[in-house]
Amino acid sequence: MTFSDRLIPLRQRIDIACQRAKRDPNSVRLVAVSKLKPASAIVEARAVGQELFGESYVQEFLGKYEEISPSPHWHFIGALQSNKVKYLKGKVDLIHSVDRLSLAQEIARQWRDQATSANILLQVNVGGEVSKSGCAPDELISLVQKIALLPKLHVRGLMTLPPWSEDPEEVRPYFRKLRQLADEVSALGLANVTMEELSMGMSDDFEVAIEEGATLIRVGTALFGRR
Ligand SMILES: *Cc1c(COP(=O)(O)O)cnc(C)c1O
């Protein structure tokens, strides 16, 4: 199966979910998660118009970044160690996985000589799973208040990786929770904090995520096949 064979039906499913939710399909962006797939898979995807990719591992991302020219748009979606932030500077449009103050501080420090602010999302562990990264829901407000004071950062929204379930309906409450948290943050009216992005939904549950307000869906397997 080619990328295009998977992209066309996926786009149709996105459109149908948008219709159900009475949303403009242009309000949902597809992040093609290319982790563990070769640069050639990204080149194939670009040939049919996919220009936004999500990567999870810094070393792997750097290899592809060097290899693929001109550069597509990149989002970093994986767990991020502070000592690797420097490698992302100037290369990614959005970091989805900021879950602690120390990481935000390091991003602000690395971006200090950049013309524009780093765009970040705050990752929230809505399911409270010990195995997952993300800040606890009840710590989000205090975290965002501290991050808002840092220079060179723009908090664009929230991201979550909910508990896995075979039934996407079981995941719906977590997506809804993320949206409620975004509303709470938005109501604070903090400088450099805007809640226009909700990064939620993957191959198995993106339709439910769209119904609950996702603006960025992160889809890997359904586009590139199994990893
Ligand atoms: C791998 C990954 C995805 C994509 O998952 P699929 O089930 O393959 O669509 C999405 N988000 C994050 C954070 C990931 O690490």
pLDDT tens for the chain, 227 residues: list them.
999 999 999 999 999 999 999 999 999 999 999 999 999 999 999 999 999 999 999 999 999 999 999 999 999 999 999 999 999 999 999 999 999 999 999 999 999 999 999 999 999 999 999 999 999 999 999 999 999 999 999 999 999 999 999 999 999 999 999 999 999 999 999 999 999 999 999 999 999 999 999 999 999 999 999 99
Q: Whose CA is nearest to atom 5 of ligand 1?
A: 220
Looking from the CA of residue 35, the nearest atom of ligand 1 is 1
pLDDT value of position 205: 98
Residues 157 and 196 sit within 8 Å (Cβ to Cβ): yes
Distance 79 CA to ligand 1 centre (A): 12
Measured distance CA(90)–CA(111) in Å, rounded: 8
Distance 168 CA to ligand 1 centre (A): 15
Q: How far is CA 113 from CA 67, 120, 131, 165, in A?
A: 25, 17, 35, 43
Ligand 1: residue of 30, 33, 126 to mutate (most ligand atoms within 8 A of CB) is 33
pLDDT value of position 135: 98
Backbone angles phi, psi at 128, to 5 degrees: 60, 30
Query: In the numeric block, which tokens belong to residue 209?
Result: 């995520």
Q: Show the ligand 1 pocket: residues with CB < 6 angstroms.
A: 33, 35, 56, 77-78, 161, 202-203, 218-222
Q: Which domain holds residue 163?
A: 3-224
Residue 106 belongs to domain with CATH number: 3.20.20.10
Distance 140 CA to ligand 1 centre (A): 23
DSSP H helical ranges for 39-128: 39-47, 58-67, 101-110
pLDDT value of position 75: 99
Q: Rg for the chain (alpha carbons), in Å? A: 17
Distance 108 CA to ligand 1 centre (A): 26
Query: In the numeric block, which tokens belong to residue 127?
Result: 């399911």
Count of domains in the chain? 1
DSSP state of 150: S
Distance 173 CA to ligand 1 centre (A): 19
Residues 218 and 31 sit within 8 Å (Cβ to Cβ): yes
- Dihedral sign, Cα of residue 61, residue 70, residue 92, residue 76: negative
- Dihedral sign, Cα of residue 187, residue 188, residue 191, residue 192: negative
pLDDT value of position 134: 98
pLDDT value of position 84: 98
Distance 161 CA to ligand 1 centre (A): 8
pLDDT value of position 192: 97
Query: Long-range CB contacts (< 8 A, 24+ apart) of 221-225?
Result: 222/6, 222/10, 223/3, 223/6, 223/7, 223/10, 223/32, 223/33, 223/45, 223/50, 224/3, 224/6, 224/32, 224/33, 224/34, 224/37, 224/41, 224/45, 225/1, 225/6
Task: Give the helix/strand (H/E) hosting 158.
Answer: strand 153-159
pLDDT value of position 40: 97
Q: Whose CA is nearest to atom 11 of ligand 1?
A: 218
Query: In the numeric block, which tokens belong to residue 177?
Result: 């929770």
Which residue in the block uniquely carries the two structure tokens 């120390």?
102
